[in-house]
Amino acid sequence: MFAVLSRARKALRTAAVVASAGLVAACGAPMMSDLGGGGAGSGGPQIDPKQPVRVALLVPRSDSGAGTIARDLENAARLAIADLDGVNIDLAVYDTAGSPATAASAAQRAVDEGAKIILGPLRGEVAVEASKVVADEGVNVLSFSNNPSIAGGNLFVLGPTFVNTADRLMGYGRRQGLDSVAVLYSEDVPGQFGRSAIQQAAANNGIDVATTQPYPLSIDGVTSAAQNMGNVVSESGADAVFITTDATNAAMPILLQVMPENGVDPAQTQYIGLTRWDVKPELFGYPGAEGAWFTLPNQSMQQNFSSRFSAAYGTSPHPLAGLAFDGIAAVGALVKRGRSDALTGRALTQSAGFQGTGGVFRLKSDGTNERGLAVATVRNNQMVILDPAPSSFSGAGF
């Protein structure tokens, strides 16, 4: 245990800042208790599907901290356009500079110049301002944010949400006989979002949240919480411990080492992760990882996108680049149907959804999204798929 604590100590000094920044970069708006905004509108501009359809892409090109992702989002969008058969998309790219005011101006200019739908911006608070200025013209905005609290009206979020992940895991858990969970979360923005998402998903699936346990992002705070979880699980009667912490966070090795040493036996209590543990395979060697559940997208489709992107542009795509591909794929699929109302809110939220870089996804009437996810576990330090990602919204996994 002491080796684990020593390695984690330095990283945890900045963990609070890094963890918050990681989520806020995509979110950037106040949390709402129900993790959802108002309902999305059903309207939108009319198009002529026989003519080129102008799509605006708003990315932070001149933001010094986001140049790489801006480039990759644009490249992914162009890669998706090249895939379209019989659909002519006229892509117009606008720089937001990562600024709400600049994004609002860019969104208005895009619509004035003929854009029928907007992809982006990246950050939640930037997307909010962009959507406001074009709402009265009925133009829908498919932002790259993962913050469900900004969604609604003409603003949709394409980013994977904690609610979607938690719901997939809770649904799977319920089918395995899971009755109650203890939630272990960090006292920061991502941790609070995660806790709320798990509580909502538990309610959706008839699972009891026996207790929620916060911990401060400090070496002592993480260690103390991990040491105490054995008592918490015993007293609450929880069947599982649901951990919100990101796999790359320095707290994770401590939790996965110290909890099993203090009475949270993975053979008796199910460990569940809200984030993708496969991005940090070093975690698989810790005792708490054995048999744990977490989700991931359709791996064959994601690898196919990554390979094609690398072949086209000579570099691996940013993890969020696929969202721009997904947005274009959705627009292209709808325009191909040949209807003038292809880009209205009603069309965007059609129940069958779309095929994206990580599998099937659909936009919901509240402006959030639902994505098909696989449930995976760890066996003998190797990832194993327990329940494959669904290929449509009519089968298992939803």
- The pLDDT mean for the chain works out to 91
Provide the angle, in degrees to the nearest 10, between the axes of the packed helices 322-335 and 67-83: 30
pLDDT tens readout for residues 20-49? 434 444 444 333 334 555 555 567 899 999
With CA atoms as reference, report the closest residue to 337 among 325, 347, 327.
347
Give dist(CA 193, CA 215) in Å, integer.
Answer: 14
Residue that has been written with the tokens 């059609």 in this structure: 350
Taking residue 352's Cβ as centre, other Cβ atoms within 10 Å add up to 10
Residue with the two structure tokens 């000094």:
13
- Assigned token pair, 384: 């194993």
pLDDT tens string, the chain, 398 residues long: the values are 545 555 555 455 444 444 443 444 444 433 333 455 555 556 789 999 999 999 999 999 999 899 999 999 999 999 999 999 999 999 999 999 999 999 999 999 999 999 999 999 999 999 999 999 999 999 999 999 999 999 999 999 999 999 999 999 999 999 999 999 999 999 999 999 999 999 999 999 999 999 999 999 899 999 999 999 999 999 999 999 999 999 999 999 999 999 999 999 999 999 999 999 999 999 999 999 999 999 999 999 999 999 999 999 999 999 999 999 999 999 999 999 999 999 999 999 999 999 999 999 999 999 999 999 999 999 999 999 999 999 999 865 55
Which residues make Cβ contacts (< 8 Å) with residue 168, sequence separation at least 6? 295, 373, 375, 397
Tell me, what's the pLDDT at 41? 56
Measure CA 142 to chain center: 14
User: What 3-state class would DSSP assign to 316?
Assistant: coil
| C-beta of residue 74 within 8 angstroms of C-beta of residue 93 | yes
Q: Quote the pTM value.
A: 0.89
Say if CB 273 and CB 377 are below 8 A apart: no
Cβ–Cβ < 8 Å for 321, 73: yes
Burial of 287 (0-12, 13-18, 19+ CB in 10 A): middle
Which two structure tokens, joined as six digits, stand for 286?
Answer: 């810790």
Distance CA 185, CA 191 (A): 5
Beta strands in the chain (DSSP E): 53-59, 89-95, 117-119, 140-143, 155-157, 180-186, 208-215, 240-243, 270-273, 294-296, 354-356, 359-363, 369-371, 374-379, 382-387
Q: How far apart are CA 142 and CA 152, in angstroms?
A: 11
Q: CA 88, CA 85: separation in Å to the nearest integer?
A: 8
pLDDT at 80: 98
> How far apart are the C-alpha atoms of 295 and 35, rounded to whole Å?
20
Q: Are 126 and 96 in contact (CB under 8 A)?
A: yes
Calculated CA dihedral for residues 211, 282, 315, 324, nearest 10 degrees: -10
- What single-letter DSSP state applies at residue 318? P
- Residue 42 has a pLDDT of 63
Q: In whole angstroms, how far apart are CA 288 and each of 162, 180, 182?
A: 22, 18, 15
The dihedral formed by the CA atoms of 233, 234, 240 and 242, expressed in degrees to the nearest 10: 0
Domains of the chain, start order: 2-22+162-297+374-387 (3.40.50.2300), 53-159+320-367 (3.40.50.2300)
Q: Render pLDDT for 304-362 as a digit per residue (tens, 0 to 9).
A: 999 999 999 999 999 999 999 999 999 999 999 999 999 999 999 999 999 999 999 99
| Alpha carbon distance 263, 3 (integer Å) | 20
Closest CA to 382 of 246, 240, 277, 226: 277
**Which of 45, 177, 49, 172 has its CA nearest to residue 111?**
45
| C-alpha 111 chain-centroid distance | 28
